A and B are shown apart, each in its own frame.
Chain A
Amino acid sequence: MSAWQAVIGLELHVQLATRRKLFSGAATAYGAEPNAQVGLVDAALPGTLPVPNAEAVRMAVRFGLAVGGRVARRSEFARKNYFYPDLPKGYQISQYEHPIVAGGEVRARLDDGRDVRVALVRAHLEEDAGKSLHDAFHGATAIDLNRAGTPLIEVVTTPCLHSAAEAAAAMRAIHRLVTWLGICDGNLQEGSFRCDANVSVRPGPDAPLGTRCEIKNLNSFRFVEKAVEYEIERQIRELEAGRPIRQETRLYDETRHQTRALRGKEEAHDYRYFPDPDLPPLVLAEAEIDAIAAALPELPDARRDRYQRELGLSDYDADLVTADRSTSEYFEATLAALGGPEPKRAKTVANWIAGELAAALNAAQRPIAESPVGPEALAGLIREIEAGRISQKVGKDVFAAIWAGEGDAATIIAARGLSVIRDDAALAAQVDAILAANPKPVAQYRAGDTRVLGWFVGQVMRATRGQADPATLDRLLRERLG
């Protein structure tokens, strides 16, 4: 049996987060009443003309610069001609021979920590189609053109991916980048970020490429992984049974975790691409590109590397706090509030973000940008712990209290009397009471079984609700037991 190699390339449809559409003055907001956001151009009324959105162009350039691609000084819109009810003009305005971005690369990290370099073929500007609702009416397909004309960049990777996990990681990496750049809201459920996967298999890395199938409209990372996995297995099964692969478009069935060929006759497409005669060449001035480059934020990979290099964060922690732009901003803001980046603190902040904060956000289903415990508040809490005024353990309670809106850390500590008990007399009384109540472990300790010291620490901590100063407690216990 030969060792099959899967070959996968992705096409990602990234909706750009502009206010107006790519070629009309209608809004792009999600969730409007049907056909309430349709401009004259979007309805393709006779005589209407497309006027491109400057911001969509800037966003595409931002992407091109971020992936290190070549940003075309002169690109061209082209028409892709085909009939479909949700394509009002009978053609989609896209880019064909001269896309705005060529080449570039994105680094994707697999779960096992391995990096995959995802080489891009291109990224081009194009308009989205409307939506066809096949089940809204009996015997009819309903058309909502609100989405028609929404700006997209289509990002095309080379067929450089070789497993379902790599495909999913590549999709995640591009998703992280476009949301990081602020050019896409990244909302998968609303269709802001969609993926088509081209999958083929071949008997080995040196064999010629096999026939590929395109799996359309995958709108979650998990579906991409599942669909590609299924498709690889299906193709291997077919080939091993001696059945050739047919080039076709397939859909992923989310409930059965299978792909299936599109029903109906697969028509031979001939899109008759040609330069859009309504749209002269798109020429970008050098100065404009420079300005966009200058305004680029630090990119996630660079930031991750910097955190590891300068702050000594582990792989895991660095990944975690650069998972998305808002987490990273939160991390940066917390560090800044604590007086700047410093390795020990960075680790502490990362731990809080990964621990209490992530858990609380997850439970409340809120994005980090809307966290009730903001960077300032978290910094205040960490300062209390660093100063030894409360223990780490009490800190978790204080965090919950901040989250619940009881004020900042200092206020809560004062109001609840949560300060660490360092006072010898106060703590000694607690210790004595515990020792008196537990003669058996006292005897054990004195007999040489010093392991019970930890048990006593726990008892006193419980009695003081965690407020006992660990160092003082340790000293007092040893004095009395010794």
Chain B
Amino acid sequence: MTIDESTLDHLARLARLRIEPADRGGLMADLAALTGLVGRLAAVDTAGVEPLSHPGDLTLRLAPDVVTEGDRADALLALSEAAQGGYYTVPKVIE
């Protein structure tokens, strides 16, 4: 299918990716080609087939309700470029 400007903008907004004007044309062409590739699936007859999300017969294993991780705020916040006073920070969000 063709990926138009507004579709590209919509996807970029959902994915929080800034796209440089110079890249737009190439990306639209690539996405058109790729959606064409994956669009071939439409031709496969899957009537009555249950979707498969996980390979094999895996079912979920659960953890006991025991606290195993303590205070590691210092180590975690040290990874951030914008930690301040024990918090992560981002530019002010207005609700």
Contact = CB atoms under 8 A, between A and B. Distances in A.
A–B touch (CB < 8 A): the answer is yes
Interface of A: 18-20, 24-27, 32-40, 43, 45, 51-57, 76, 81, 83, 85, 132-134, 136-137, 139-145, 251, 262-264, 267, 270, 272, 275, 277, 279-283
A70 B18 CA distance: 45
Name the prevailing secondary structure of the B interface residues.
Answer: loop
19 contacts: A18-B65, A25-B68, A32-B71, A34-B73, A35-B76, A35-B86, A36-B73, A54-B64, A85-B88, A132-B93, A134-B93, A137-B85, A137-B89, A140-B84, A140-B92, A141-B89, A144-B87, A272-B14, A283-B60
B37 interface: no
A38 B76 contact: yes
A283 B86 CA distance: 39
A35 B14 contact: no
B41 interface: no
Contact of B84 (A85, A137, A279): A137
B63 interface: yes
Contacts of A282: 59-60
Contacts of B67: 19-20, 25-27
A442 B95 CA distance: 78
Contacts of B88: 35, 85, 142-143, 145
Contacts of B71: 32-33, 36-37
B78 to A, nearest CB: 11
B22 interface: no
B54 interface: yes
A19 B62 CA distance: 14
Question: Most chain-B CB neighbours within 10 Å: which of A24, A56, A142?
Answer: A142
B2 to A, nearest CB: 20
Nearest to A26: B69
Nearest 7 A-B pairs (CB), nearest first? A25-B68, A55-B65, A54-B62, A142-B87, A280-B58, A25-B69, A143-B88
Interface of B: 13-14, 16, 53-54, 58-69, 71-73, 76-77, 79, 84-95
Contact of A51 (B13, B16, B63, B76): B63
Contact of B89 (A36, A81, A140): A140
Contacts of A27: 67, 69
Contacts of B87: 34-35, 133, 136-137, 142-144
Nearest to A28: B67
A85 B76 contact: no
Given A35-B77, A51-B62, A280-B54, A20 B89 contact: no
Contacts, number: 129
A141 B60 contact: no
B69 A40 contact: yes
A139 B93 CA distance: 9
A209 to B, nearest CB: 28
A283 B61 CA distance: 9
Contact of B95 (A33, A251, A277): A251
Contacts of A20: 63, 65-68
Given A52-B60, A76-B53, 18 more contacts: A25-B63, A25-B69, A35-B73, A35-B88, A36-B71, A38-B73, A55-B64, A83-B16, A85-B93, A137-B89, A139-B91, A140-B90, A141-B93, A143-B87, A143-B89, A263-B94, A280-B60, A283-B60
Given A137-B84, A142-B85, A275 B90 contact: no
Given A35-B73, A37-B71, A141 B91 contact: yes
A70 B87 CA distance: 42
Contacts of A19: 65-67
Contacts of A83: 16
B95 to A, nearest CB: 6
Nearest to B11: A270
Contacts of A76: 53
A54 B91 contact: no
A142 B80 CA distance: 13
Contacts of A145: 88
A269 B46 CA distance: 30
Given A38-B72, A53-B62, A277 B53 contact: yes
Contacts of A81: 14
A39 B67 CA distance: 10
A264 B59 contact: no
A139 B92 CA distance: 5
Contacts of B86: 33-35
A282 B50 CA distance: 17
A85 B92 CA distance: 11
Contacts of A279: 60
Contacts of B89: 137, 140-143
Nearest to A23: B63
Contacts of A267: 13
A283 B59 contact: yes
Question: Most chain-B CB neighbours within 10 Å: which of A35, A37, A52, A281?
Answer: A35
A264 to B, nearest CB: 6
